[in-house]
Chain A
């Protein structure tokens, strides 16, 4: 009883503090948090797109479907095989990555020398098939996925309540994004990758197996999307539509950032998440469109994108 009273006092104290600047700080920081979480997903997805684009020069339209596949595989692993969240976080990106490698080998590579618009259409077809299959078997209403026991609950900060799982999403995706950036920019493997981006023929001449690197890169880029999907499963309901909705936003983000730099893709993703979150607080009606409007402004002011290298 006493505990409840103390809590109430603290809560009302918090309310007084929260509204002291005329705006509701609780709500604002809540939306900022949601923005950062969405930004983490945007960053993972656009990073994957940028890596694939660097070496293959194609845009993977199935990236959103792969994100959806990640979430569904996590759900299926738990419900059919009893594989828990932590194992899913490791195994699902691997499984989806293997699928992507097969897709690259048997669907994308045969048309690698054609106009790149064809590969866009091909991956669009793959996305339609995947989305159609899951709608057929699981319906479009969405399935629940429990937050893992270790990450239930939250931490009370002076200005907001921070659910542990949400903090985990932000931290883990930042770690993954940063490690990827580090591998590409600072290691020998990354140097091969960058060299392959610049001049694949010369690389081949040096005795490096470029087709193998290309295939693995495609697999890894897609695995990033699947990782995002597993992370998203407990916060968003697992549904076939989740992939296409996020992908179109990520496309706008890719146009905003330009695909010239790996760091730029990560940064733009996070930034746009925050912009969306702030809009949700100050003018909720525009929250679905703000990123597209931002894209229009970037096209007018700096058509190559914020981090774009092309003229």
Chain B
């Protein structure tokens, strides 16, 4: 236990000094996607539900925050709160529908529902269609701290990330989280113990989608942009990849996975290799599934257990 606390402390110190060493916008992007992947991992890693349309919650959070910031002059914390609640609300509706089916069907239902929202956002007047919402103001936090400064923005994003990360941990280690794991391991048994399995899945879905919305809202403020890219099925595939690559069902897996995927994208974008991005993503998927199903963190844990355990 003490060992883990030291690790957290170490990570927080790194996170605090990081912006002096690395471009803060890149770090903020990383934190947003890491939060998105953590939210997704709550569902895939701890309940065993593969949602293939999670981008819709990222995008919805982003659109709501973007629209409110552009047109009402809300302070950023309220804008983010609204985006998070909006995504959670959509998650409540979509989750209610999706938990009616299991396994592969669950994946197909969530993908189809996300596509429904994609076409809606494509046509709806308030999203700016193909252009998206541009020039979203970052505003001043609580009306006091100007977020146009990248450093201030970074620490704000870091605080949001730590909150989201903590909430996922809290959920996983609560009695509620234990039941979720029981559902993952043996659903018929959880049913026979008298748990209403669908309700538990539904609540987990709502938490996950609200956190994905939080990530999307924050991302919109960071880049001052909300666009269709965030609702596209490519984005849903990316978050699956991050979680799979990092290690699903592990605490730090999504963080590591997001770090690797975002770094690869950053290295490739702009250059000659930009065209290869989907090919490389696809290849990583194939290799992960064939040889590497526990992901980076999972394999590392196995290695430690084998040699030092």
Chain A residues at the B interface, C-beta cutoff of 8 Å: 58-59, 107, 110-111, 114, 116-122, 124-133, 135-136, 244, 248-249, 251-252, 254-255, 285, 288-289, 292-293, 295-296, 299-300, 303
Contact = CB atoms under 8 A, between A and B. Distances in A.
A303 B99 CA distance: 10
A132 B290 contact: no
Contacts of A125: 281-286, 289
Interface of B: 50, 97, 100-101, 103-105, 107-109, 111-113, 115-116, 119-120, 122-123, 233, 237, 240, 244, 275-286, 288-290, 293
B107 A128 contact: no
Nearest to A251: B108
Contacts of B240: 121, 124
A42 to B, nearest CB: 13
Contact of A58 (B104, B244, B282, B286): B104
Contact of A59 (B104, B119, B288): B104
Contact of A121 (B115, B120, B122, B244): B244
B209 to A, nearest CB: 17
A285 B104 contact: no
Chain A CB count within 10 A is highest, among B97, B280, B282, B286, for B282
Contacts, number: 116
A57 B109 CA distance: 17
A133 B279 contact: yes
Nearest to A300: B97
A132 B279 contact: yes
Nearest to B283: A129
* Majority SS at the chain A contact face: helix
Given A107-B290, A121-B240, A135 B278 contact: yes
A132 B286 CA distance: 14
B116 A128 contact: no
Contact of A295 (B112, B244, B289, B290): B112
Nearest to A304: B101
Contacts of B275: 132, 135-136
Contacts of A288: 119, 122
B286 A126 contact: yes
B108 A117 contact: no
A136 B282 CA distance: 14
A248 B233 contact: yes
B119 A118 contact: no
